[in-house]
Structure 1
Amino acid sequence: MSDPLNDPTAVDASARRPLSANEEFMCAFDRGDDLGVFGPRGVVLAGWRVRGPLDAATVQLALDDVVARHEALRTTIIRDQGAPYALVSPPRPAPLSVIDLPATESEAGRELLAHEFLDEVDRDSRLGAKELPLLRATLARFDASDAVFVIVTNHLASDGWSMQVLMNDFVTCYAMRRGLPSPGLPETRQLGEYAYWQQEARDSEAATLAREYWKDTLSGGEMTILPTDRPRRLDVPPVYSVYRFVLDAELAGATTALAKSLHSSPFMVLFACFNLFLHRRTGVTDLVSPVITSGRTEPGFEDTVGTLFNFLPIRTDVSGCASFADLVRRTRASLLEAYSYELPFGEIIAKSEPELMAGPIMNVSSVVSAFQISQFPPESTEETGGLRVSALRRRLNSLVDVSEIPDGNLWELDLHPDGDVVGVVKYNSLDFDLPTIVAMVDDYRELLLAALRSPDAALPKQESSV
């Protein structure tokens, strides 16, 4: 029998589709099947506490329903037959592991074990881009009605937003399999539809205007880069690690209050402080720093599973800003303009000056740092099918050798329901030592604290040394 992954004539032509813009972007980081975005460490994972009766056989059936529902989990990018394209395969069962966690009666003890287990999965997960379906799950049970449920996908099949979509669908499918009342599954548009929509959108008047905006906005600009602790080794596999930290409730509350007073969002305030941090670290006043968006600009793709996230290179000139409040206003204006002209990152840099990416590509002693606020679709707080689910978002343990990102550093802040901000910096341990990352976060925290206390005071001068 022909292998559809190696013989495109073995499947119906409708199973083939063009790549989405983000899939094309990811192909630029192709380092083969063993490394990089197509390698087994390019994964996304998320975990939840699940309370209620979980029958393993029904969990398996619900997982298989989810795989059948979302074609991104069954899609392989074919890269060895000319121009890359996507190939959608028929559904097949999703691997499910069922284990028992140590017995403990304490809720605090169980929550701690849940996060430790999620960290363990993060360190151990491997899932290559050809290992269909591109989803694995583990059900780790404290007892018959209390468990930790972890989903792992290859990053080519999903992003952070998609993980909550998958969990929402799993809970609904589980209820339906048990014959219990459920809200039903919303209509979903597939990643292939998104790819075709992007192709059509490229010829629209709005896209033409957006390309001109980015060309003008980024003309003469360069990505702002941070120096590494040692020359980068691009000939060896990266070793990504995470440093986690908390901005306390007082800082989070002050951030929200300042944002409200300046008609901004908390993200705008936090990103303005990141701009200030970059300026202090590099001395650069004309900053170009990427933020990550959900990429779901077109209505109707909120429930689409796939790698839809997008990079927007935000250009902000900090010169002439008399105070942090001024910097927030300027950052806000840059962000709002960028959002109104959002294009896939690949199209943005294709129309920009070559210098924009020359520094990051040619310099082996520095990296780009991307910044984002965690973005999730709504998580149901209601019981469905006898299950109550809560995301394990409060991860506080720093780890070595975890899932990879395409390149550079990633700063991600989560405005946690508890009232504080849980942050993480993901970095390549071959580029940076942990004390350097800790010092960066401490600098950022101190800058934010000072800025929130006196937003109208003069901005601090650049550091004399790094």
Structure 2
Amino acid sequence: MSDPLKDRTADDASARRPLSANEEFMCAFDRGDDLGVFGPRGIVLAGWRVRGLLDVATVQLALDDVVARHEALRTTIIREKDAPYARVSPPCPAALTVVDLPPAATEADRERLAHEFLDEVDRDGRLGATELPLLRATLARFDDGDAVFVIVTNHLASDGWSMQVLMRDFTICYATRQGLPAPGLPETRQLGEYAYWQQEARDSESATIAREYWKDTLSGGEMLILPTDRPRRLDVPPVYAVYRFVLDQELADATTSLAKSLHCSPFMVLFACFNLFLHRRTGRTDIVSPVITSGRTEPGFEDTVGTLFNFLPIRTDVSGCASFADLVRRTRASLLEAYSYELPFGEIIAKSEPELMSGPIMNVSSVVSAFQISQFPPEEADDIGGLRLDALRRRLTSLVDVSEIPDGNLWELDLHPDGDVVGVVKYNSLDFDLPTIVAMADEYRELLLASLKSPDSALPKQESSA
């Protein structure tokens, strides 16, 4: 494909490009610079334990290398009414904060404090979409050889996958500047190139076929929504909260075992149970519920930093399923079809009937619940330049007033290396009370337990109290 970016220089402050499909979609949730997706609470964060000697000056230089390497961190969306566009600015220094953590005598205490510190950043972190660069970092030290490193970006500049890419690139840049052995940085394609690729892809034959697939698949469908505890206040800022829970190793092992026997992934089993949960909650048998993908369908964009994630509205018919195993097979088929015709969500709903999204977006008494498994790029070495990295993925504390999402509820499950599954439900606490969310998570766990115990038994009937 042609590359409209090739003649642009890094210091061209007037550089501009069209928006990617996801940037266009996010603009639909624009509530100004102080609220919503452009506001300071629309952030993504991730943290790591870093063991090894860290030189603060070199940490700063490596962060600045990362900002220079990934233009998404230097991009501002100009929201002109008729023709919004993205403007890329020259590299600039990233803000780095260095703090000391309380003394801790044991490794268990340090690990606990590390996760508590990450939660603190989640509560207090702020980074608006106009504050360049769209990356900040905090280095919190137990001592010279043991620290917590937290990266915060605005969500318009990155997603969960991007955070792993950023940390990998940071460690390589750090090691290189220190003159230590490190792998070379892979070639990266910029978010602007991704936006131009999407523009060209819209006119392709495969995209035309995909649009017809989604039009036919979603015809007559309606995004399934869950009732809120009180009428939604769309005129006030949301206050997002997270409820965290654990599915124990026995459940995780049983999920993996059933997935293997049915020739599918653990995600497909877990999402099938989510479909069952939605069926039980609503009585609906025609389930349309979104899953979140990495959005990196085109080879070569695996190392691109940006908001590439995508929503796919998965339609599954629960009626006629004789057992949970049948539901898993049906869910698997729905997912595989959807993956093979993946398009940006905005294009999907543009070809769908109006009722698919008009209700969920405008409804003042219910919300959509999206579902995802934590996604990570192919594993890189966790020991680069003498630094050992361990991602802080075991956050178990429920919190109020955390980073925001555009709207609705988000269910995310992380297949943790320890063998169990760490779950989180993110929700607007002005819409739902915590006991409601806890009851939902408990019901999901109980359904999963019963379904895995007897996958060939009849599906449980809907409870009249649901």
Return closer, same or farther for 1:150/1:13 CA change in 2, 3 Å cut-off.
closer
- Which residue of structure 1 aligns with residue 192 of structure 2? 192
User: Quick check: 2:12–2:89 contact (8 Å CA) kept in 1?
Assistant: no
- Which residue of structure 1 aligns with residue 109 of structure 2? 109
Alpha-carbon distance, 1:358 to partner: 2.2
- Which residue of structure 2 aligns with residue 292 of structure 1? 292
- Aligned AA for 1:72? A
- Which residue of structure 1 aligns with residue 232 of structure 2? 232
Q: Which deviates further from its counterpart, 351-360 or 279-288?
A: 351-360
User: Quick check: 1:382–1:388 contact (8 Å CA) kept in 2?
Assistant: yes
What does 1:220-369 align with in structure 2 at a 5 Å threshold?
A: 220-369=220-369
Q: Distance in 1 between matches of 2:443 and 2:102?
A: 39
Q: Distance in 2 between matches of 1:268 and 1:188?
A: 31
Alpha-carbon distance, 1:382 to partner: 4.1
- Which residue of structure 2 aligns with residue 462 of structure 1? 462
Alpha-carbon distance, 1:15 to partner: 1.1
- Which residue of structure 1 aligns with residue 402 of structure 2? 402
SS of 2:346's equivalent?
helix
Q: Distance in 2 between matches of 1:380 and 1:310?
A: 24
Q: Distance in 1 between matches of 2:103 and 2:330?
A: 53
User: Quick check: 2:310–2:345 contact (8 Å CA) kept in 1?
Assistant: yes
SS of 1:288's equivalent?
strand
Q: Distance in 2 between matches of 1:145 and 1:428?
A: 39
User: Quick check: 1:141–1:147 contact (8 Å CA) kept in 2?
Assistant: yes
- Which residue of structure 2 aligns with residue 130 of structure 1? 130
Q: Distance in 2 between matches of 1:300 and 1:380?
A: 17
Q: Distance in 1 between matches of 2:87 and 2:14?
A: 9
Q: Distance in 1 between matches of 2:229 and 2:382?
A: 48
- Which residue of structure 1 aligns with residue 416 of structure 2? 416
User: Quick check: 1:41–1:125 contact (8 Å CA) kept in 2?
Assistant: yes
- Aligned AA for 1:435? P
Q: Distance in 2 between matches of 1:181 and 1:63?
A: 18
- Which residue of structure 1 aligns with residue 372 of structure 2? 372
User: Quick check: 2:190–2:305 contact (8 Å CA) kept in 1?
Assistant: yes
Q: Distance in 1 between matches of 2:13 and 2:247?
A: 52
Q: Distance in 1 between matches of 2:152 and 2:339?
A: 30
- Aligned AA for 1:156? L
Q: Distance in 1 between matches of 2:380 and 2:165?
A: 11
- Which residue of structure 1 aligns with residue 140 of structure 2? 140
- Which residue of structure 1 aligns with residue 183 of structure 2? 183
Percent identical among aligned pairs is: 88
Q: Distance in 2 between matches of 1:170 and 1:221?
A: 44
SS of 2:141's equivalent?
strand
Alpha-carbon distance, 1:378 to partner: 3.1
User: Quick check: 1:410–1:425 contact (8 Å CA) kept in 2?
Assistant: yes
Alpha-carbon distance, 1:335 to partner: 0.2
Alpha-carbon distance, 1:13 to partner: 8.3
- Which residue of structure 1 aligns with residue 4 of structure 2? none
Alpha-carbon distance, 1:362 to partner: 3.2
User: Quick check: 2:13–2:88 contact (8 Å CA) kept in 1?
Assistant: no
SS of 1:161's equivalent?
helix
CA RMSD in angstroms comes to 1.0
Query: Is the aligned partner of 1:157 residue 2:153?
Result: no
What does 1:42-57 align with in structure 2 at a 5 Å threshold?
A: 42-57=42-57
Q: Which deviates further from its counterpart, 101-110 or 368-377?
A: 101-110
Alpha-carbon distance, 1:363 to partner: 1.9
Return closer, same or farther for 1:367/1:419 CA change in 2, 3 Å cut-off.
same
Q: What TM-score do you get using the length of structure 1 for normalisation?
A: 0.97
Deviations for 1:385-423, whole angstroms, at most 9, x for unmatched residues?
A: 110101000110000000000000000000000000000
Alpha-carbon distance, 1:198 to partner: 0.3
SS of 1:41's equivalent?
coil
User: Quick check: 2:13–2:89 contact (8 Å CA) kept in 1?
Assistant: no
SS of 1:269's equivalent?
helix
SS of 2:66's equivalent?
helix
User: Quick check: 2:271–2:371 contact (8 Å CA) kept in 1?
Assistant: yes
- Which residue of structure 1 aligns with residue 89 of structure 2? 89
- Aligned AA for 2:146? D
Q: Distance in 2 between matches of 1:273 and 1:410?
A: 15
Q: Which deviates further from its counterpart, 150-159 or 356-365?
A: 356-365
Alpha-carbon distance, 1:14 to partner: 6.8
- Which residue of structure 1 aligns with residue 384 of structure 2? 384
Q: What TM-score do you get using the length of structure 2 for normalisation?
A: 0.97
SS of 1:34's equivalent?
coil
SS of 1:328's equivalent?
helix
Query: Is the aligned partner of 1:119 residue 2:140?
Result: no
SS of 1:128's equivalent?
coil
SS of 1:406's equivalent?
coil
Alpha-carbon distance, 1:77 to partner: 0.0
Q: Distance in 2 between matches of 1:230 and 1:208?
A: 42
Query: Is the aligned partner of 1:33 residue 2:43?
Result: no
SS of 2:384's equivalent?
coil
Alpha-carbon distance, 1:72 to partner: 0.1
Q: Distance in 2 between matches of 1:192 and 1:410?
A: 28
User: Quick check: 1:381–1:388 contact (8 Å CA) kept in 2?
Assistant: no
Alpha-carbon distance, 1:355 to partner: 1.1
- Aligned AA for 2:190? Q
- Aligned AA for 1:446? E
Alpha-carbon distance, 1:48 to partner: 0.1
Q: Distance in 2 between matches of 1:117 and 1:380?
A: 25
Q: Distance in 2 between matches of 1:137 and 1:93?
A: 11
Alpha-carbon distance, 1:368 to partner: 0.2
Q: Distance in 2 between matches of 1:145 and 1:363?
A: 52
Q: Distance in 1 between matches of 2:78 and 2:213?
A: 33
